[in-house]
Amino acid sequence: MRKNLIRSARRSTADPGLGTTPSSPPGQGWRHARLTPSLAEVYRSIPVAGLPWWRKVLAFTGPGYLVAVGYMDPGNWATDLAGGSAFGYTLLSVILLSNLLAVLLQGLASRLGIVTGRDLAQACRDSYSRPTSVALWVICELAIAACDLAEVIGSAIALNLLFHIPLPWGIAITGLDVLLILLLQNSGFRMLEALVITLIATVGACFLFELLRARPDWNAVAHGFVPEGAILRDPHMLYIAVGILGATVMPHNLYLHSSIVQTRQYEETTAGKREAVRFAFIDSTIALTFALFINAAILIVASATFHTSGHGDVAEIQDAYRLLTPLLGGGASFVFALALLASGQNSTLTGTLAGQIVMEGFLQIRLRPWLRRLITRGLAIVPAMIVAIVAGSRGTAKLLLLSQVILSVQLSFAVIPLVQFTSDRAKMGAAVNAAWLRWLAYAAAAVIALLNGWLLWLVSHGAVS
């Protein structure tokens, strides 16, 4: 598959047939004219030109937070709880590394969308052969299904813990987010962004409360951010570490970000695009810093509360909920469940948008917005409902963790095309990656691929299950 990607990209770069776009002159490297943008109803709907610097920063604020939502979803909770309760603060270094990779890759995704006017799915469709594009679409849909499974189950667990709603009914309730997205987008994309930022702030406030209650050893926390060789030597620690990587750097977030940055009405000149790339990077970096705090806080609370008290096997979210109040005092469990509900609902909103972008970009399927979102939501709710009915509340931790490992394994198939496109001068023009950035991006892609290969080897030889 990866060899096919490289061969297909080389063919497209060498292709002298140039496409024209509705708003820009012909450019080298693309075989076809720029397509109608995904999320056409909000495309370039937010004006940013002519504003003073500080107001421009605020105008570009939003897409990064929609992306950051995926870095603090219930799948992250599963991996962070498992890592913190079993191995203390050791895996904080993996969270930090994953977040640095996320800053790099999301910056490349926004650069691709702003400079070329194409999201990552549209760029793949234009550059690769039909079989390769279809294969990449299937892989991405599997990643979205794995992510949505975690998000839907997480929201349903939160409803169960807070209001004692059975899991199947909770899963059905999460499907109403389709109507919420339609309502908010009809009121403007900024309303959707405002809701997402509010929910992120809710999660952050909840875990600040939990940190104050947990009173961790801050010297040990600082030491945890330093990588240790034991992470690679211990198969079970590596399994959770790769799960953290998959839960943090999500493949469909790269597709999402490359599309939603185009909601800003920046000037489509070289200078205008350069400025938009800079402000989009500021937006995503600040948003991902919030995600780093929340991810690290979950693992720190798990370590300080469960690992130090001898509860080293807390991987079920429900077990964490039941143990928090006895160990930390009144209100801890309620705040934990409230944060989980905000996190899960936030993630289902953005996951639905990502599904729409991928379907439109790879397949050029144009359906009514409510029908598109109903289809992408159904792809997540149906398997989640089956899991809830068959497995019940027990066993969800393994499913959540497995879904994040699946995401990590599929990550390379989004990262490699992204790095190739943004490093191609024929496609990117003056905005092509600098040599140092190109090598850094390829190094990140190689690290991800090697870790995934190592994990698959361990699984195939029975070292982890």
pLDDT in tens, 320-377: 888 888 888 778 889 999 998 888 877 777 777 888 888 889 988 777 766 766 776 6
Q: What is the CATH number of the domain that holds 49?
A: 1.20.1740.10
pLDDT higher than 90, residue 106: yes
Helices (H), 310-434: 317-328, 332-363, 369-391, 396-422, 425-428
User: For residue 272, what pLDDT is reported?
Assistant: 93
> Which of 323, 325, 317, 384 lies closest to 147 in space, CA to CA?
384
Kindly state whether residue 20 falls inside one of the protein's structural domains. Answer: no
User: Is the CB of residue 307 less than 8 Å from the CB of residue 292?
Assistant: no
Distance CA 91, CA 116 (A): 37
- DSSP symbol at 164: -
Kindly state whether residue 294 falls inside one of the protein's structural domains. Answer: yes
Kindly state whether residue 426 falls inside one of the protein's structural domains. Answer: yes
What's the domain range around 83? 37-460
Quick: pLDDT tens for 61-93: 999 999 998 788 777 787 888 899 999 999 999
Kindly state whether residue 21 falls inside one of the protein's structural domains. Answer: no
Mean pLDDT value of segment 146-172: 83
Kindly state whether residue 17 falls inside one of the protein's structural domains. Answer: no
Quick: pLDDT tens for 286-315: 999 999 999 999 999 999 999 988 887 776
Quick: pLDDT tens for 4-15: 544 444 444 333
Kindly state whether residue 27 falls inside one of the protein's structural domains. Answer: no
Which of the four pLDDT bands, split at 50, 70 and 90, describes residue 18? very low
- DSSP symbol at 247: H
Quick: pLDDT tens for 220-276: 999 999 999 888 888 888 888 877 876 667 788 899 999 999 999 999 899 999 999
Quick: pLDDT tens for 197-208: 998 999 999 999
Distance CA 57, CA 59 (A): 5
Kindly state whether residue 155 falls inside one of the protein's structural domains. Answer: yes
Distance CA 335, CA 122 (A): 41
Terminal Cα distance for the chain, rounded:
26
To the question of pTM greater than 0.75 for the whole model, the response is yes
Kindly state whether residue 30 falls inside one of the protein's structural domains. Answer: no
Would you call 344 helix, strand, or coil by DSSP?
helix
Token digits for 274? 């350069």
Bridge partners (DSSP) listed for residue 264: 46
- DSSP symbol at 118: -
The total number of structural domains in the chain stands at: 1
pLDDT higher than 70, residue 185: no
pLDDT higher than 80, residue 399: no
Would you call 46 helix, strand, or coil by DSSP?
strand
> Which of 352, 351, 347 lies closest to 158 in space, CA to CA?
347
Between these two residues, 415 and 464, which has the higher pLDDT value? 415
Token digits for 340? 């989980």
